[in-house]
Structure 1
Amino acid sequence: MTTLTKTEDSPAPTGADPFLSVRDLYVRFSTEDGIVKAVDGLSFDLERGRTLGIVGESGSGKSVTNLAVLGLHNPKSTTISGEILLDGQELTGAREKTLERLRGNKMAMIFQDPLTALSPYYTVGRQIAEPFVKHTGASKREGRLRAVEMLGKVGIPQPQTRVDDYPHQFSGGMRQRAMIAMSLVCNPSLLIADEPTTALDVTVQAQILDLLKDLQQEFGSAIILITHDLGVVANTADDILVMYAGRAVERGSVKEVLQSPRHPYTWGLLGSMPRLSGDVEQPLKPIPGTPPSLLNPPPGCPFHPRCAYTGEVGGDRCSSERPVLPEGRGGACHLTAERKQSIFIEDIQPALG
């Protein structure tokens, strides 16, 4: 089990213009039941050479946000507004040809489900080589050699022969590694990793995370890591963005958020994790309730129906007024900073051990 530790402080941001800048992003899906408000006014920045960990329950908008960055939503049923700047280039509303030149080359994504992301009709090697040939102008032979190289890098045994296998001939973990190889084949400047270690054993998880670190160190890549594993975030990411109901409820450096979280939802995520040093007989403490429907999200703070501290705010402020996430370090919560600190020290921190 991964522990929530950070061996050293992350380097401070350089203050330069961010490589990826998202401002007031809204993503809406039209369905028979109504409009799904999947992402609701999200803003964040990411600089070259840094890793942003995005965490939250399923349905919080993590993957939807990053599919919007890559321009992979169906325009017939999706409405996207806001600003997405990649190295100064606006992606919102960009032409499909523009996005095709960027996808797989300047930006790439490791998809969560490799079984559906990989085509069953083509060999694994061909699918890895295709973006390399397309974006670099390499020959098919050079593309095949690059595919063999990448399969070896992600830990596939006998890559010279497995390169000609089809996805159904790979195990689930091997398909995941092949998906990672495809995403890394062109050394993208922005890599979005959606649960990249799912279905992998602990040893291979470490190899994959080390591979991402090596890519970042060599090319100065910006990485977005989408995961439910706070231990992976603690040991891999520089910054954390906590999402709930399509909104950012807290952000800050890994050290700041894990050592001094400022939102009740973040407290709940940390408290629901098993601990190596904890009592094995002690049951886990889940967050009460269920995530809200994004067809009809609750007014005010979206977390207030599940929050144990709404009575301390006074009146109906939590259920009627949307809390603002401050610039820089902070949490979108109506509790005062002093009260958040005292609750964490008195109630949350002792339970975390």
Structure 2
Amino acid sequence: MTETRAFLSVRDLYVRFDTEDGVVQAVDGLDFELERGRTLGIVGESGSGKSVTNLAVLGLHDRRRTEIRGEILLDGQELTGAPEPTLEKLRGNKMAMIFQDSLTALSPYYTVGRQIAEPFRKHTGASRREARQRAVEMLDKVGIPHAALRADDYPHQFSGGMRQRAMIAMALVCDPELLIADEPTTALDVTVQAQILDLLKDLQQQTGSSIILITHDLGVVAHTVDELLVMYAGRAVERGTVREVLRSPRHPYTWGLLGSMPRLASDVEEPLTPVPGTPPSLLAPPPGCPFHPRCAFTAAVGGDRCRTERPRLPAGRGAACHLTDDQQRTTFAEQIKPRLG
């Protein structure tokens, strides 16, 4: 019987950077899958490996300074170690990315329309006229008013929300099957944020694309993604459907993320509850569970297991934690959930 694979499959992924201070262990044995037409949310604090992982999928790391091991399969095609010409044919065509900072991602020297048209010409062989028409069409699709006129503007002439929409238009101009959105709503007001997220959902329904949404904001993913992957110190510590993870989280780090969010029912004078401590240095990650220096539940595990033994993330729904399933459920129900309200 032939094994069926997900559209995107990442297996045992390691990403290492050589620096003057030592080797940064940015991604440490990561596994995940994404089916066609589905949306995967990847959440975690800054430095948890979210963006590094997806830059590895796109093949955008500097190969001279980066070691990448593991398996990255896109529709059955191996991307790890693939030649640069192969990746260039895929980037912007079969897979594309919406970068976090649209102002720096867009070139100040070229008009917005020209930058959207360029990948379309490269991957389809369209004429300059056809590519411009496609660029105007995409600007109109993402909600830019007077698209034919605004296509001749430069990025600095667009507002922050409009630049983000232009970035989405550029990423989608070739109808990619995989779209990676890296903090696409950072620094945008909540109204524009909601519009951007609705736009991504509408475009996914039209094209059937798969989406990876990278964010640190659990509120953003709550009504946007299908599956959720929680990352910490370059590792996946919890995964499941978005409903499972947000309603019945199992990992103490996920409990901390949820507890640090403001709530409408809370007293305005009540301080937020941050995750204690700071993320570990990826130059020298702690042994065992990387979260144990910040975790309040190591005593429930007993002994030095949290400090010496790396917990494994089970297949499917689960958390990489030494607490038993019963301990996870009981602790959340009795200690964490009452605080969340």
- Give the TM-score category using the shorter length: over 0.9
Query: In the alignment, what sits opposite 2:321?
Result: 333
Match among 272, 277, 288 for residue 260 of structure 2: 272
The 8 Å contact of residues 61 and 243 in structure 1, kept in 2 or not, is answered as yes
Query: In the alignment, what sits opposite 1:313?
Result: 301
Query: In the alignment, what sits opposite 1:171?
Result: 159
Match among 108, 115, 132 for residue 127 of structure 1: 115
Match among 52, 58, 63 for residue 46 of structure 2: 58
Query: In the alignment, what sits opposite 1:42?
Result: 30
Whole-angstrom distance in 2 between the partners of 1:34 and 1:159? 49
The 8 Å contact of residues 55 and 226 in structure 1, kept in 2 or not, is answered as yes
Query: In the alignment, what sits opposite 2:214?
Result: 226
Deviations 1:32-84 (A, max 9, x none): 00000000000000000110000000000000000000000000100000000
Query: In the alignment, what sits opposite 1:6?
Result: none
Match among 173, 176, 190 for residue 202 of structure 1: 190
Whole-angstrom distance in 1 between the partners of 2:48 and 2:234? 5
Q: Which deviates more from structure 2 when the two are superposed, residues 44-53 or residues 147-156?
A: 147-156
Query: In the alignment, what sits opposite 2:14?
Result: 26
Deviations 1:158-212 (A, max 9, x none): 2221111112222222222211111111111000000111222223222222221
Listed as ranges, the matches of 1:278-297 within 5 Å are 278-297=266-285
Whole-angstrom distance in 2 between the partners of 1:90 and 1:170? 38
The 8 Å contact of residues 21 and 46 in structure 1, kept in 2 or not, is answered as yes
SS at match of 1:93: coil
Query: In the alignment, what sits opposite 1:154?
Result: 142
Root mean square deviation of aligned Cα? 1.2
Answer yes or no: is 1:145 the counterpart of 2:133. yes
Whole-angstrom distance in 1 between the partners of 2:210 and 2:4? 14
Query: In the alignment, what sits opposite 2:90?
Result: 102
The 8 Å contact of residues 173 and 199 in structure 1, kept in 2 or not, is answered as no
Match among 33, 58, 68 for residue 70 of structure 1: 58
TM-score, length-normalised on structure 2?
Answer: 0.97
Whole-angstrom distance in 2 between the partners of 1:181 and 1:157? 13
Query: In the alignment, what sits opposite 2:77?
Result: 89
5+ unaligned residues in a row in structure 2: which ranges?
none
The 8 Å contact of residues 252 and 328 in structure 1, kept in 2 or not, is answered as yes
Whole-angstrom distance in 1 between the partners of 2:80 and 2:108? 31
Match among 179, 189, 192 for residue 177 of structure 2: 189
Deviations 1:123-146 (A, max 9, x none): 111000111111122211111111
Whole-angstrom distance in 2 between the partners of 1:148 and 1:201? 25
Aligned residues: 339
Cα offset, 1:156, TM superposition? 2.2
Cα offset, 1:97, TM superposition? 0.5
SS at match of 2:23: strand
Query: In the alignment, what sits opposite 1:242?
Result: 230
Whole-angstrom distance in 2 between the partners of 1:152 and 1:290? 44
Deviations 1:95-137 (A, max 9, x none): 0010000000100000001122111111111000111111122
The 8 Å contact of residues 187 and 215 in structure 1, kept in 2 or not, is answered as no
Whole-angstrom distance in 2 between the partners of 1:185 and 1:302? 40
Runs of 4+ in 1 over 4 A off after TM superposition: none
SS at match of 1:21: strand
Whole-angstrom distance in 1 between the partners of 2:148 and 2:192? 20
Query: In the alignment, what sits opposite 2:100?
Result: 112
Whole-angstrom distance in 2 between the partners of 1:40 and 1:53? 19
Whole-angstrom distance in 2 between the partners of 1:149 and 1:348? 49
Q: Which deviates more from structure 2 when the two are superposed, residues 145-154 or residues 110-119?
A: 145-154
TM-score, length-normalised on structure 1?
Answer: 0.94
Letter in 1 for 2:98: I
Deviations 1:249-295 (A, max 9, x none): 00000111111111000000000001122222211100000000000
5+ unaligned residues in a row in structure 1: which ranges?
1-14
Letter in 1 for 2:312: V
Letter in 1 for 2:160: G
